[in-house]
Amino acid sequence: MENLSRKLWHHLAEEDVLAALKSHHQEGLDTNEAAERLRLFGPNAISSQATQSPLKRFLLQFHNPLIYILLVAGVVTLLLSEYIDSSVIFAVVFINAIVGFMQESRAESAINSLRKMLSSHAMVIRNGQKMRIPATELVPGDLITLTTGDKVPADARLIQVRDLQIDESALTGESVPVLKECVRLDQDTILADRINMAYASTLVTYGQAEAVIIATGDDTETGRIASMISSAVSLETPLTKKIHSFSQWLLWIILALAGLTFIAGLFHGASWVDNFMAAIALAVAAIPEGLPAVVTITLAIGVRRMASRHAIIRKLPAVETLGSTTIICSDKTGTLTENQMTVQQLWTQGAVHQFTGTGYDPTGSLSTTDDDSSSDLPVSTRQCLLAGVLCNDSHLVQKDSHWQVEGDPTEGALITSAIKAGLDREQLVRQHKRLDVIPFESDRQYMATMNVWTPDQHIILLKGSLEQILKRCCDQLNTDGQSAPLAEKEIIAAAEHLASQGLRVLALAQCLVPSDQTNLDAFRQQEQAAQLSFTGLQAMIDPPRQEAIEAVRHCQAAGIQVKMITGDHALTAQAIARQIGILPPSEAGSSGVLTGQQLATLSDHALLNEAQSTAVFARVAPEQKLKLVTALQAREQVVAMTGDGVNDAPALKQADIGVAMGITGTEVAKEAADMVLTDDNFASIAAAVEEGRNVFDNLVKFISWILPTNIGQGLVILVAVVLGLTLPVLPVQALWLNMTTAIFLGLALAFEPKESGLMDRPPRQPNSPILSTEMVSRILTLSTLLLAGAFGLFQWSLSQGQPEEVARTLAVTLFVVVQSVFLFNCRSLSRSVLKTPAFSNPWIWVGIAIMSLAQLAFIYTPWMNLLFQSAPLAAEHWLLMLSYGFFVLLFIEGEKTIWRSRHQKTAMSN
pLDDT single digits (tens) 322-377: 778 899 998 887 778 887 889 999 999 878 899 998 888 898 888 865 444 445 78
> Would you say 142 and 28 are in contact if contact means Cβ atoms under 8 Å apart?
yes
**Separation of alpha carbons 333 and 330, rounded Å:** 9
Name the nearest CA neighbour of 682 among 581, 575, 541, 568. Answer: 581
Residues 6+ apart with CB under 8 A from 371: none
- Determine the pLDDT at residue 91: 67
* Torsion sign across C-alpha atoms 714, 720, 721, 727: negative
> Would you say 451 and 432 are in contact if contact means Cβ atoms under 8 Å apart?
yes
pTM score: 0.68
Helix (H, G, I), strand (E, B) or coil at 675: strand
85, 142, 150, 331: the catalytic one is 331
Give the confidence band of 470 by pLDDT, cuts at 50, 70, 90: very high
Helix (H) or strand (E) holding 404: strand 402-406
Q: What is the pLDDT of residues 691-736, one digit of tens each?
A: 888 888 888 888 888 888 888 888 887 788 777 778 888 777 877 8
What is the DSSP secondary-structure string of 80-114?
A: TT-HHHHHHHHHHHHHHHHHHHHHTTHHHHHHHHH
370 is catalytic: no
Name the nearest CA neighbour of 139 among 225, 30, 275. Answer: 30
Instruction: Tell me the CA distances in angstroms from 380 to 110, 369, 427, one per residue in order.
Output: 52, 13, 20
Residues facing 505 on adjacent strands: 539
- Determine the pLDDT at residue 114: 40
- Determine the pLDDT at residue 173: 65
Give the confidence band of 900 by pLDDT, cuts at 50, 70, 90: confident
Say what the alpha-carbon torsion angle 154, 158, 162, 165 is, to the nearest 10 degrees: 50
Give the confidence band of 542 by pLDDT, cuts at 50, 70, 90: confident
* DSSP designation for 599: H
Q: What is the pLDDT of residues 279-316, one digit of tens each?
A: 666 666 676 766 766 776 777 777 777 777 777 777 66
**pLDDT higher at 489 or 118:** 489
**Separation of alpha carbons 680 and 404, rounded Å:** 16
Across 786-812, average pLDDT: 90
- Determine the pLDDT at residue 386: 95
Backbone φ and ψ of 561, nearest 5°:
-75, 140
